């Protein structure tokens, strides 16, 4: 047996390109590989298809959801949570190119 610098007694199985599903570590469930790994067309950030899907989902949400109830449930439940939310928003804005 050839010596290696890895942990003795452990062998890594080679990847199987022909398998359309992959198993998550520690799980018994399989998930589909991303389309790019299946030979499908990979879409970049800002794709037209993703924009259409997002806009469709937003329209469905606004048509069916109780937006006022969702807004009320998103409010901070304590002064500490309000301060944490303000600090997080401030941090996020510090990384944006627009509002500061």
List the domain range (segments joined by +) for residue 69. Answer: 48-94
Let me know if residue 69 belongs to a domain. Answer: yes
pLDDT of 77 above 90:
yes
* More reliable by pLDDT, 7 or 74: 74
Could you tell me if residue 21 is inside a domain? no
pTM (2 d.p.) = 0.38
Residue 47 has a pLDDT of 84
In a domain, 6, yes or no: no
Alpha carbons within 13 A on the beta-carbon side of 75: 9
* pLDDT tens digits along 15-51: 656 555 555 565 666 666 555 454 556 666 778 888 9
* Assigned domain for 72 exists: yes
Does 57 reside within a domain?
A: yes
Is residue 2 assigned to a domain? no
CA dihedral 17, 22, 25, 28 (to 10 degrees): -140
Residue 22 lies in a domain: no
Structural domain tally of the chain? 1
Cβ pair 20, 38 in contact under 8 A = yes
The per-residue pLDDT for range 49-72, each reduced to its tens digit, is: 889 999 999 999 999 999 899 999
């Amino acid at each position: 047996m050839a010596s290696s610098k890895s942990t003795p007694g452990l062998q890594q199985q080679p990847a199987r390109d022909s398998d359309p599903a992959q198993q998550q570590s520690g799980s018994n469930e399989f998930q589909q590989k991303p389309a790019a790994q299946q030979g499908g067309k990979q879409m970049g950030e800002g794709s037209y298809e993703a924009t259409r899907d997002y806009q469709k989902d937003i329209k469905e949400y606004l048509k069916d959801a109780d937006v006022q109830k969702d807004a009320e449930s998103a409010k901070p439940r304590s002064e500490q949570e309000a301060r944490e939310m303000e600090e997080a928003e401030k941090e996020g804005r510090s990384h944006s190119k627009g509002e500061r």
